[in-house]
């Protein structure tokens, strides 16, 4: 700038040439030019402008014309704002200072919102009065705008934090944005429903009236287009000419409207469904540049995130509602069923009780009755628990609270379990602390609470101590039941009081239970205005602590009975205790297989009894099945899967009867273990289960069980199935063994056959040699010395030749026969006519010699090995000629026959030769069989055997019919 000023022709201006400038101007100019802060000087009355380099940014597009120009011209756009200040400076010789002044500058071609902090200071002229002024500037625009935007975002964040429904999100967004009238003159929101945009809310009620309430997605208006565009691109879009589309819109903080709006799609990146479109009016004095755009994006993102949160909340709510619904339905269902059971149960229990007290019943029957009684009691307990619980839940139960000695009451209740606990080798320790205030409880409910807790402690402890303590601390009584049992896993601790919740796969004494017990206990404790808590460590033990307030002030007055209740009624105790007793393993006599020598057995002496292994954690079940089966079988019992597996290995039972739900290792686990072990994999397994239904059965069978019986099952059913599966397995084992034996033998036979053939093959090969030589030398003898030999000698030689020839052809025959077993003959089309023709040619000599005649039909074409087929017919025709009388005629007939659905060519070769007895019809096909003596008719006896083999090789057959002295007919069937 210094250079520019130096080169400027100042004489044209009011300032005059530089050398006329007063000293003060010169000095100030020097200050300005060396300053780093944007500064300018206005000199003379017109305030001609001079400025420095940093000021160029402020003056923007007006540089460089601003230099040497009167200020009123340069800053025409903000003259309104600065004129009063300048007047003050020039006329009153006072400096001015403003901070973050809003100035709408038009220095870059459009009106801009800017904020400046600047001072005007008068510069005295030579006469002491202001001749000009100097201005120092700081640009505050960015800071002001950023702060404003940040405020909006913060406000937005805060307001959107706790929205629970979409409506809130929209309202809060608009409310937050509304506060920033500078950036958001107005705000609208359109939500999307189906294929429509629906107006939702706006920053001004007046707007709601003028804007379209609904817009079809497919509309052609530029507004709809804009909305669609922003949704599809997921980017802000600019809407021009807002006045036309939406009507008169508020200006916000500004005197004018930009007549533009931005449509912001509100959609989360991950979701497909957009929530809607936020439409905001723009600041007329700002460019819609990247900075502005990203601010809007932040706003849009916040809104979208908030919508997403609402959605998540909604789904959470729905889910928990659904779960609660299921729970409720379960309870109702169970209580309905339980209701139905009550009457029959009563009718069960009463007569059984009577029977048990009847002295006339035998011991044997009493035992059975007891089983029935115990189990009916158990059912009753379950039914009552469920009913009670559902009533509790429905709020239909009201306690009747009486004053009690809580210590003694609790102690007495717990003691009911003492014998069962001690029988199991455990200890029950009761610590009765000092309780000085009166405690009011509903005795019946209290009984249930304590019995439940003690029963649980016992169920889930195999050894150690169960402790009960009662003590008062200030205004509350603490009753705790703790054990040294298997404990509860940490992740289940908060669920354990839930309805129907059961901890899976525990190693307790029993797997039985509904999961209602603790839920019920909690409800009952709640009715006493108390609390129950649990602490536990898996493998170490658990402790349940009840806290109830003393006195009666917290209880509803009308429920209080001031006289102590009848004490206690023990309505429930029997069922609880009986159940607990059953968890204590008894000595079972029937485990020892050797001892049980069949007392009372109906099996005959000498027939071994099969062994049945029974796995069930319910002692009654064990007894029952034992009694059913012990007549016919040795019964071995086990109370869980692991024990059953060990016993299976030890005793190698012939069958396993197994429950499915058992502690330590369940039925499926046991089955798997058995099937994976070589010694036990073939034991048949029958599942006994309470789970009914096709699915359960299929699951069991799929897992590899042989059968599945649903409880309750009839005794007869059980015995039949056990017998069936044991014998099935035995039978299958036997036939498997037989199979193996048969296979082995067959292999052996095959091998020996092969060996034989091979031997025959080799032997024949080796025999050929000497035979050949034999013949050769005989031949030479005859040739060279034949004429000097006497007749007899020549005769001998002849006979030797004949014999050698026979041997030769026998060997040939054997070789051919044995080589027929080799595979590898290629099947081609064989024209039987051609075959017969070439046979005729080969046998020409003999045919002529015997004056034979061969008459033949038109023969078919078949599939086969030409050489073999040739051999077959050659042998037959040769035979016919060989075994002929005078004037032999060989007729060959051809026809088609269907046998068993297959088509065959039927070729009959008939002659009028010597024939044979029909009784030999099959024998003649045997190898080496001859019907005539060697000297009468030559032959190896292999010819027909070969024919048969060839025919069979081709999947056909050959048969013979003959009549002695008349002739023979050979019938060949070959598939076509």
Partner 1 sequence: MQQMIRTKKFLLTDDDRDDREMFSEALASIAPDVVYHWAADGRHALQLLASNDKPDILFLDINMPVMNGWELLNKLKKDNNYNDIPVIIYSTSSEQRDKEIAKDLGALCFVTKPDNFRLMKSILKAVVDNLDKNSLDSLCADIENILHKQ
Q: Which of 769, 858, 900, 935 binds partner 1 (CB under 8 A)?
A: 769
Q: Decide whether 491 or 769 has the Cβ nearer to partner 1.
A: 769
The least distance separating partner 1 from the CB of residue 958, rounded to whole angstroms, comes to: 25
Phi–psi pair at 499, nearest 5 degrees: -55, 135
Q: Which stretch binds partner 1 (CB under 8 A): 100-108, 656-664, 769-777, 934-942?
A: 769-777
Within 504-551, residue ranges assigned H as helices are 517-527
Q: Decide whether 191 or 940 has the Cβ nearer to partner 1.
A: 940
Cis peptide before 64 (omega within 30 of 0): yes
DSSP three-state, residue 176? helix
- Could you give the CA distance from residue 687 to residue 710 in angstroms, rounded to a whole number? 8
- Could you give the CA distance from residue 323 to residue 335 in angstroms, rounded to a whole number? 18
The least distance separating partner 1 from the CB of residue 812, rounded to whole angstroms, comes to: 8
Residues 6+ apart with CB under 8 A from 636: 590, 591, 593, 611, 612, 613, 614, 647, 651, 653
Q: Which of 164, 537, 711, 780 binds partner 1 (CB under 8 A)?
A: 780
Told to check if 878 binds partner 1 by CB under 8 A, we report no
Q: Which stretch binds partner 1 (CB under 8 A): 512-520, 634-642, 736-744, 768-776?
A: 768-776
Q: Which of 832, 968, 950, 829 is nearest to 895 (CA)?
A: 832
Residues 6+ apart with CB under 8 A from 69: 48, 49
Told to check if 775 binds partner 1 by CB under 8 A, we report yes
- Could you give the CA distance from residue 708 to residue 725 in angstroms, rounded to a whole number? 11
Told to check if 799 binds partner 1 by CB under 8 A, we report no
User: To the nearest 5 percent, what fractions of the chain are helix, strand and coil?
Assistant: 50, 20, 30
Contact string (CB under 8 A) for partner 1, positions 425-454, x = contact: ------------------------------
Told to check if 806 binds partner 1 by CB under 8 A, we report no
The least distance separating partner 1 from the CB of residue 779, rounded to whole angstroms, comes to: 5
How many alpha carbons lie under 13 Å from residue 333 in its C-beta half-sphere? Answer: 7
Three-class secondary structure assignment of 120-168:
EEEEECCCCCEEEEEEEEEECHHHHHHHHHHHHHHHHHHHHCCCCCHHH
The least distance separating partner 1 from the CB of residue 777, rounded to whole angstroms, comes to: 8
229: enclosing H helix or E strand: helix 222-233
Told to check if 768 binds partner 1 by CB under 8 A, we report yes
Q: Which stretch binds partner 1 (CB under 8 A): 440-448, 486-494, 707-715, 766-774?
A: 766-774
Q: Decide whether 164 or 765 has the Cβ nearer to partner 1.
A: 765
Q: Which stretch binds partner 1 (CB under 8 A): 97-105, 763-771, 881-889, 938-946?
A: 763-771
Q: Which of residues 6-25 bind partner 1 (CB under 8 A)?
A: none
Q: Decide whether 339 or 772 has the Cβ nearer to partner 1.
A: 772
Q: Which of 318, 540, 772, 936 binds partner 1 (CB under 8 A)?
A: 772
- Could you give the CA distance from residue 737 to residue 551 in angstroms, rounded to a whole number? 81
Q: Decide whether 587 or 769 has the Cβ nearer to partner 1.
A: 769
Q: Decide whether 418 or 768 has the Cβ nearer to partner 1.
A: 768
Q: Which of 958, 962, 961, 956 is nearest to 975 (CA)?
A: 956
Cis peptide before 712 (omega within 30 of 0): yes
- Could you give the CA distance from residue 946 to residue 813 in angstroms, rounded to a whole number? 8
DSSP three-state, residue 881? helix
- Nearest-5° Cα angle at 219, 217 to 221: 125
5-to-13, 53, 172, 780 alpha-carbon distances in Å: 13, 11, 56, 147
Q: Which stretch binds partner 1 (CB under 8 A): 201-209, 677-685, 703-711, 765-773?
A: 765-773
Q: Decide whether 4 or 761 has the Cβ nearer to partner 1.
A: 761
Told to check if 652 binds partner 1 by CB under 8 A, we report no
Told to check if 205 binds partner 1 by CB under 8 A, we report no
The least distance separating partner 1 from the CB of residue 762, rounded to whole angstroms, comes to: 12
Told to check if 108 binds partner 1 by CB under 8 A, we report no
Q: Decide whether 495 or 772 has the Cβ nearer to partner 1.
A: 772
Q: Which of 80, 193, 773, 917 binds partner 1 (CB under 8 A)?
A: 773
The least distance separating partner 1 from the CB of residue 782, rounded to whole angstroms, comes to: 10
The least distance separating partner 1 from the CB of residue 873, rounded to whole angstroms, comes to: 20
- Could you give the CA distance from residue 30 to residue 292 in angstroms, rounded to a whole number? 39
Q: Which stretch binds partner 1 (CB under 8 A): 132-140, 421-429, 474-482, 779-787?
A: 779-787
The least distance separating partner 1 from the CB of residue 814, rounded to whole angstroms, comes to: 14
Told to check if 752 binds partner 1 by CB under 8 A, we report no
Told to check if 588 binds partner 1 by CB under 8 A, we report no
- Could you give the CA distance from residue 816 to residue 806 in angstroms, rounded to a whole number? 15
Q: Decide whether 627 or 761 has the Cβ nearer to partner 1.
A: 761
- Could you give the CA distance from residue 976 to residue 757 in angstroms, rounded to a whole number? 30
Bridge partners for 689 per DSSP: 710
Residues 6+ apart with CB under 8 A from 178: 184, 187, 203
- Could you give the CA distance from residue 723 to residue 473 in angstroms, rounded to a whole number? 65
Q: Which stretch binds partner 1 (CB under 8 A): 282-290, 419-427, 673-681, 774-782?
A: 774-782
The least distance separating partner 1 from the CB of residue 780, rounded to whole angstroms, comes to: 5
- Could you give the CA distance from residue 111 to residue 632 in angstroms, rounded to a whole number? 109
757 with 820: CB under 8 angstroms?
A: no
Told to check if 44 binds partner 1 by CB under 8 A, we report no
The least distance separating partner 1 from the CB of residue 794, rounded to whole angstroms, comes to: 17
Q: Which of 363, 587, 695, 783 binds partner 1 (CB under 8 A)?
A: 783
Phi–psi pair at 658, nearest 5 degrees: -135, 140
Q: Which stretch binds partner 1 (CB under 8 A): 163-171, 412-420, 772-780, 832-840?
A: 772-780
The least distance separating partner 1 from the CB of residue 902, rounded to whole angstroms, comes to: 32
Q: Which of 615, 636, 771, 968 binds partner 1 (CB under 8 A)?
A: 771
Told to check if 935 binds partner 1 by CB under 8 A, we report no
Told to check if 391 binds partner 1 by CB under 8 A, we report no
Residues 6+ apart with CB under 8 A from 318: none
Q: Which of 201, 415, 808, 809 binds partner 1 (CB under 8 A)?
A: 808
126 with 24: CB under 8 angstroms?
A: yes
By rule CB under 8 A, what count of residues binds partner 1? Answer: 12
- Could you give the CA distance from residue 449 to residue 455 in angstroms, rounded to a whole number? 10
The least distance separating partner 1 from the CB of residue 757, rounded to whole angstroms, comes to: 15
Beta-strand ranges (E) seen in 720-832 are 828-831
Q: Which of residues 458-497 bind partner 1 (CB under 8 A)?
A: none
Q: Helices 791-819 & 943-953, crossing angle to 10 degrees?
A: 20
905 with 973: CB under 8 angstroms?
A: yes
Q: Which stretch binds partner 1 (CB under 8 A): 199-207, 315-323, 359-367, 767-775?
A: 767-775
The least distance separating partner 1 from the CB of residue 751, rounded to whole angstroms, comes to: 23
The least distance separating partner 1 from the CB of residue 774, rounded to whole angstroms, comes to: 8
Told to check if 929 binds partner 1 by CB under 8 A, we report no
The least distance separating partner 1 from the CB of residue 818, rounded to whole angstroms, comes to: 12
Q: Which of 54, 464, 489, 779 binds partner 1 (CB under 8 A)?
A: 779
Told to check if 30 binds partner 1 by CB under 8 A, we report no
The answer for 582, left when phi > 0, alpha when psi is -120 to 50, beta otherwise, is alpha
User: Which residues of the chain form contacts with partner 1 (CB under 8 A)?
Assistant: 765, 768-769, 771-773, 775-776, 779-780, 783, 808
């Amino acid at each position: 700038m210094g250079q520019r000023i130096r080169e400027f022709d100042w004489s044209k201006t009011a300032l005059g040439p530089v050398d006329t400038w007063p000293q003060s101007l010169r000095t100030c100019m020097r200050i300005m030019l060396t300053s780093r802060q944007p500064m300018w000087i206005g000199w003379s009355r017109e305030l001609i402008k001079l400025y420095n380099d940093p000021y160029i940014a402020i003056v923007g597009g007006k540089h460089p014309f601003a230099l040497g120009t009167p200020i009123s011209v340069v800053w025409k756009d903000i003259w309104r704002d600065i004129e009063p200040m300048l007047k003050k400076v020039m006329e009153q010789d006072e400096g001015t200072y403003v901070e973050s002044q809003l100035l709408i500058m038009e220095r870059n071609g459009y009106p801009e919102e800017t904020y400046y902090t600047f001072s005007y200071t008068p510069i005295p002229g030579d006469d002491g009065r202001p001749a000009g002024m100097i201005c120092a500037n700081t640009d505050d625009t960015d800071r002001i705008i950023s702060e404003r935007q940040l405020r909006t975002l913060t406000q937005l964040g805060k307001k959107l934090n706790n929205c629970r429904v979409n409506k809130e999100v929209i309202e809060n967004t608009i409310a937050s944005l509304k506060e920033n009238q500078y950036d958001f003159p107005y705000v609208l929101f359109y939500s999307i429903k189906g294929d429509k945009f629906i107006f939702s809310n706006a920053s001004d009620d007046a707007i709601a009236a003028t804007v379209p309430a609904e817009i079809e997605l497919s509309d052609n208006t530029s507004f709809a287009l804009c909305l669609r565009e922003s949704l599809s691109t997921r980017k802000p879009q600019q809407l021009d000419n807002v006045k036309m589309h939406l009507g008169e819109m508020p200006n916000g903080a500004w005197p004018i409207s930009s007549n533009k709006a931005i449509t912001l799609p509100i959609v989360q990146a991950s979701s497909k469904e957009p929530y809607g479109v936020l439409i905001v009016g723009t600041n007329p004095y700002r460019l819609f540049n990247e900075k502005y755009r990203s601010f809007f994006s932040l706003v849009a993102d916040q809104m979208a995130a908030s919508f997403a949160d609402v959605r998540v909340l909604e789904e959470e709510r729905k889910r928990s509602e659904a779960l609660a619904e299921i729970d409720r339905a379960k309870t109702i269902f169970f209580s309905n069923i339980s209701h139905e059971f009550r009457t029959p149960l009563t009718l069960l229990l009463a007569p059984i009780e009577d029977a048990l007290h009847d002295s006339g019943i035998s011991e044997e029957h009493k035992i059975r009755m007891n089983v029935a009684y115990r189990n009916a009691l158990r059912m009753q307990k379950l039914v009552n628990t469920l009913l009670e619980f559902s009533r509790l839940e429905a709020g239909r139960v009201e306690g009747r609270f009486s004053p009690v000695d809580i210590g003694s009451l609790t102690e007495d209740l717990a003691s009911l379990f003492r014998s069962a606990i001690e029988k199991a080798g455990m200890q029950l320790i009761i610590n009765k602390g000092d309780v000085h205030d009166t405690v009011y409880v509903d005795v019946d409910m209290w009984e249930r609470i304590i019995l439940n807790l003690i029963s649980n402690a016992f169920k889930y402890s195999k050894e150690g101590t169960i402790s009960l303590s009662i003590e008062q601390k200030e205004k509350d009584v603490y009753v705790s039941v703790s054990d040294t049992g298997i404990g509860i896993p940490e992740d289940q601790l908060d669920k354990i009081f839930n309805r129907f919740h059961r901890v899976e796969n525990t190693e307790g004494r029993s797997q039985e239970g509904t999961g209602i017990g603790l839920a019920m206990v909690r409800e009952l404790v709640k009715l006493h205005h108390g609390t129950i808590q649990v602490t536990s460590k898996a493998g170490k033990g658990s402790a349940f602590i009840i806290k109830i307030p003393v006195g009666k002030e917290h209880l509803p007055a009308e429920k209080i009975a001031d006289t102590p209740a009848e004490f206690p009624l023990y309505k429930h105790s029997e069922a609880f205790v009986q159940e607990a007793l059953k968890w204590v393993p008894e000595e079972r006599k029937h485990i020892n297989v050797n001892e049980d020598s069949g007392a009372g057995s109906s099996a005959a002496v000498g027939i071994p009894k099969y062994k049945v292994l029974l796995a069930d954690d319910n002692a009654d079940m064990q007894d029952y099945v034992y009694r059913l089966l012990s007549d016919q079988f040795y019964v071995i019992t086990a109370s869980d899967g692991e024990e059953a597996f060990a016993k299976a290995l030890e005793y190698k039972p012939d069958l396993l009867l197994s429950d499915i739900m058992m502690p330590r290792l369940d039925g499926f686990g046991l089955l798997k273990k058995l099937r994976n072990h070589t010694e036990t994999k073939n034991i048949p397994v029958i599942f006994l289960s309470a789970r009914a239904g096709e699915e359960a059965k299929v699951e069991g069978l799929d897992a590899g069980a042989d059968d599945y019986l649903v409880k309750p099952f009839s005794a007869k059913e059980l015995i039949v199935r056990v017998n069936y599966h044991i014998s099935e397995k035995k039978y299958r084992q036997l036939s498997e063994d037989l199979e193996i034996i048969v296979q082995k033998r067959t292999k052996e036979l095959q091998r020996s056959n092969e060996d034989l053939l091979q031997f025959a093959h080799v032997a024949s090969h080796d025999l050929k040699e000497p035979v050949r030589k034999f013949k050769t030398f005989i031949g030479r003898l005859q040739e060279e010395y034949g004429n000097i030999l006497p007749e007899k000698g020549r005769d001998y030689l002849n006979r030797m030749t004949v014999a050698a020839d026979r041997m030769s052809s026998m060997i040939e025959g054997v070789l051919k026969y044995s080589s027929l077993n080799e595979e590898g003959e290629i099947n081609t089309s064989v024209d039987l006519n051609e075959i017969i023709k070439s046979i005729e040619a080969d046998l020409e000599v003999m045919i002529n010699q015997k004056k034979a005649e061969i008459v033949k039909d038109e023969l078919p074409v078949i599939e086969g090995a030409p050489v073999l087929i040739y051999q077959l017919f050659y042998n037959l025709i040769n035979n016919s000629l060989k075994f002929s009388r005078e004037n032999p005629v060989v007729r060959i007939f051809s026809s088609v026959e269907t046998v068993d659905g297959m088509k065959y060519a039927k070729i009959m070769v008939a002659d009028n030769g010597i024939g044979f007895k029909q009784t030999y019809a099959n024998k003649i096909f045997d190898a080496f069989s001859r019907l005539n003596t060697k000297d009468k008719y030559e032959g190896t006896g292999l010819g027909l055997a070969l024919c048969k083999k060839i025919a069979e090789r081709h999947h056909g057959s050959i048969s013979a019919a003959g009549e002695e002295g008349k002739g023979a007919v050979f019938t060949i069937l070959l598939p076509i």
